[in-house]
């Protein structure tokens, strides 16, 4: 029996072409691990975060459940993922700011949003690096970089290294973890003239 991590490939040898499939699976797992380490080094992900949530935020699951919708609670507090193309912001093209649904922290601006084809809202940079926290995520037998709200610890999504310039990053976020704050229209000449005494 051949083991790699938690995966067992014993049955693959019993099937035609099993050895080739085993080698392919092993190679893919090694590449996933290497890509995870490379991305973590590139964006500075940390295993643990020193920043505690603000004192005024809810602290218990019961408090978060009262504050959030069931889907928002599942995604932000239990590290879930919404289905692709199901969220309200994946195709939003309006100007504005995307805030954390849990605490209102500004996270992403519409000027950094791009069409990734994934079915989730994607951005190439946050409003401020200080507003997000990156953690190494080892779930699903992969190494990915999880993105959280630095203020309240809400799970937002993941960041990948296949984004557009200038950063080359793709912050793939869950719509349900965000609240969109549309940009206010600029005051035109008429409004400015009426404002004068």
Q: Which residues are catalytic?
A: 172
Structural contact between residues 155 and 178, judged by C-beta atoms closer than 8 angstroms:
no
Angle (nearest 5°) at CA 79 between 78 and 82: 110
What distance in Å separates the CA atoms of residue 80 and residue 144, rounded to the nearest whole number? 14
The two beta strands, 122-123 and 155-160, are unpaired
What distance in Å separates the CA atoms of residue 194 and residue 170, rounded to the nearest whole number? 44
């Amino acid at each position: 029996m051949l083991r790699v991590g938690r995966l067992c490939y014993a049955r693959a040898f019993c099937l035609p072409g099993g050895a080739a499939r085993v080698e392919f699976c092993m190679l893919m797992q090694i590449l996933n691990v290497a890509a995870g380490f490379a991305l973590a080094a590139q964006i500075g992900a940390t295993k643990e975060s020193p920043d505690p949530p603000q004192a005024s935020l809810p602290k218990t699951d019961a408090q978060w459940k009262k504050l959030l919708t069931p889907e928002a609670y599942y995604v932000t507090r239990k590290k879930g993922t919404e289905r692709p193309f199901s969220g309200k912001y994946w195709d939003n093209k309006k100007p504005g700011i995307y805030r954390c649904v849990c605490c209102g922290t500004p996270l992403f601006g519409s000027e950094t949003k791009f069409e990734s084809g994934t079915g989730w809202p994607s951005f190439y940079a946050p409003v401020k690096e200080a507003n997000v926290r990156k953690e190494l995520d080892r779930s699903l037998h992969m190494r990915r970089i999880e993105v959280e709200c630095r203020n309240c610890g809400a799970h937002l999504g993941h960041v990948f290294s296949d984004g557009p310039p200038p950063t080359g990053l793709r912050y793939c976020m869950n719509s349900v973890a965000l609240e969109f704050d549309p940009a206010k229209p600029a005051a035109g000449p008429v409004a400015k003239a009426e404002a004068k005494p």
